Amino acid sequence: MQPLGLIVTIAAGLRRQGIRAVAAGLGIALGVAALLVVSGLAGGAVAAVGARIDSLGARLWVVWPGPARENGARGGNRPSVTEDDAARLAAIPDIAVATPVYQAMVTLVAGNRNWTTLLAGIEPEFLAARDWPVAAGAAFGDVEATTAAKVVLLGAKAARELFGDANPLGRQVRAGTVPLTVVGILADKGASPFGRDQDDVALVPMATLKRRIAGTGPGWADAVHYIYFKLTAAADPAATIATVRETLRRRQPGGAAASERFALSDLAGLAWAGAEAERTLARLMVALGAIALAVGGIGILNVMLLAVAARAPEIGLRLAVGARRRDIAAQFLGEALVLAAGGALAGLALGLAGAHVLGLVAGWTVLLPWPALALALAAPVIIGIAAGVWPAWTAARLDPLAALGR
């Protein structure tokens, strides 16, 4: 049979299937659409997590004070990590920078505006540890840090809330009764992997926060809330962290034999762990899409088997007048392939549109990997061939006389 004749025969056969052919193709379309939507959203989620990890800073770790105990109950943090601990960590060869952080929630006032934000007392090395550039103005240096200067760096969101569209540089904000001069605006960081807006922050010298603004409670004169430290590119993380742990343990009351009064966290590892639920859900949804494709394939198989039974007299007549069995097989296999390919194209359009709409509505990034797109197009073709082989073989093997007698 000539190709044009085969195409005409396949089209005529599909028209006879009517609503059954549409239903079979719809199953494939829904499976492809599900694969594309889930792959696009999952790819965007992984990219977003990667970007948020980059916003934290590469190879960045943090030391937290251990939980306090009172009458056997655990709660809050105790002043077990100090500024001097940060200096000891900075001296470890495989640590590029170590910097302490002391913080408090403070209401800042600028003119007739006020905004409650996280006010962090830092050392100048903090910005290098966090890979956090200054978008406008300049960071404060060692002189301001040691003299408890009344200067502040505003995060992008804090600057917008306090000054709107006006330029904050050189202007003053008040923390309690302390006036602070805005010397710089931090570059946008966006949300952290844990959901906190990193741009809703203000940074002052640690001495300024401790001595002039927030003060310190009992035992907190030299204590800090965190120590950020960054490993060098050549560092062996396992060996370096073991050295860090041993250094901190020896500085605790009781020395190395005492229980740890601190905790170490790899921020990138925590972020990826937080994203594991998203990846698990994505795998589940991909599995559901694959099941939908399989159901669509079974639908095509059923439609084609019904077509063979319904058109048995026609097949017998064609065989009786000289049609080749391979032409009969090609017709039914072609019909199955057209159903699968049509469903795949419809699913492609539906999936791309659905992923785009969901991304806009939910504010998610959509990033469709090429392997997912290739799978969404190749799988229906394979399913169409698999679902069409048996009906095609059954039709081609019909006995002409028996088929005419049905």
Please indicate, yes or no, whether residues 13 and 148 belong to a single structural domain of this protein. Answer: no
71 is a domain residue: no
Highest averaged pLDDT of the listed ranges 97-111, 239-253, 326-340 = 97-111
DSSP 149-185: -SEEEE-HHHHHHHHTTS--TT-EEEETTEEEEEEEE
Structure confidence at residue 297 (pLDDT): 77
pLDDT tens string 85-141: 999 999 999 999 999 999 999 999 999 999 999 999 999 999 988 889 999 999 999
- Whole-prediction pTM value? 0.59
Please indicate, yes or no, whether residues 126 and 197 belong to a single structural domain of this protein. Answer: yes
Query: Three-class SS of residue 204?
Result: strand
59 is a domain residue: no
Q: Other C-beta atoms within 10 Å of 102: how many?
A: 23
Please indicate, yes or no, whether residues 34 and 173 belong to a single structural domain of this protein. Answer: no
Total domains in the fold of the chain = 2
Structure confidence at residue 202 (pLDDT): 96
- List the Cα angle 65/66/68 in 5-degree steps: 115
Cα–Cα distance, 69 to 91 (Å, whole number): 31
Burial class (CB in 10 A: 0-12, 13-18, 19+), 78: middle
Query: Which one of 232, 260, 288 terminates a domain?
Result: 260
DSSP 373-400: HHHHHHHHHHHHHHHHHHHHHHHHT--H
Please indicate, yes or no, whether residues 238 and 295 belong to a single structural domain of this protein. Answer: no
Mean pLDDT to the nearest integer, 360-366? 71
Q: Number of helices and strands (H, E) in the chain? A: 13, 12
Q: Other C-beta atoms within 10 Å of 96: how many?
A: 18
Please indicate, yes or no, whether residues 245 and 113 belong to a single structural domain of this protein. Answer: yes
97 is a domain residue: yes
Structure confidence at residue 187 (pLDDT): 94
Torsion-angle region of 33 (φ positive above 0: left; ψ -120 to 50: alpha; else: beta): alpha
Please indicate, yes or no, whether residues 23 and 86 belong to a single structural domain of this protein. Answer: no
Structure confidence at residue 216 (pLDDT): 81
63 is a domain residue: no
Structure confidence at residue 55 (pLDDT): 52
Structure confidence at residue 375 (pLDDT): 75
Query: Which one of 260, 284, 315 terminates a domain?
Result: 260
Please indicate, yes or no, whether residues 44 and 90 belong to a single structural domain of this protein. Answer: no
Per-residue pLDDT for 71 more than 80? no
Please indicate, yes or no, whether residues 325 and 288 belong to a single structural domain of this protein. Answer: yes
Least confident of 87-101, 239-253, 297-311: 297-311
312 is a domain residue: yes
Per-residue pLDDT for 395 more than 70? yes
Least confident of 198-212, 223-237, 243-257: 243-257
The residue with tokens 């741009």 is 199
Radius of gyration in angstroms for the set of CA atoms belonging to the chain, rounded to a whole number: 34
pLDDT tens string 271-303: 555 556 566 666 666 676 677 777 777 877 777
Mean pLDDT of the chain: 79
Structure confidence at residue 148 (pLDDT): 94
Please indicate, yes or no, whether residues 282 and 218 belong to a single structural domain of this protein. Answer: no
Of the two residues 310 and 227, the one the predictor is more confident about is 227
Q: Give me the percent of the chain exceeding a pLDDT of 70.
A: 76
Residue range of the domain that includes 388: 3-52+276-404
73 is a domain residue: no
58 is a domain residue: no
pLDDT tens string 158-178: 999 999 999 999 999 999 999
Mean pLDDT to the nearest integer, 244-272? 70
Structure confidence at residue 45 (pLDDT): 67
72 is a domain residue: no
Query: Three-class SS of residue 308?
Result: helix
Of the two residues 207 and 39, the one the predictor is more confident about is 207
Least confident of 51-65, 67-81, 128-142: 67-81
Per-residue pLDDT for 30 more than 60? yes
Query: Which one of 229, 260, 291 terminates a domain?
Result: 260
Query: Three-class SS of residue 403?
Result: helix
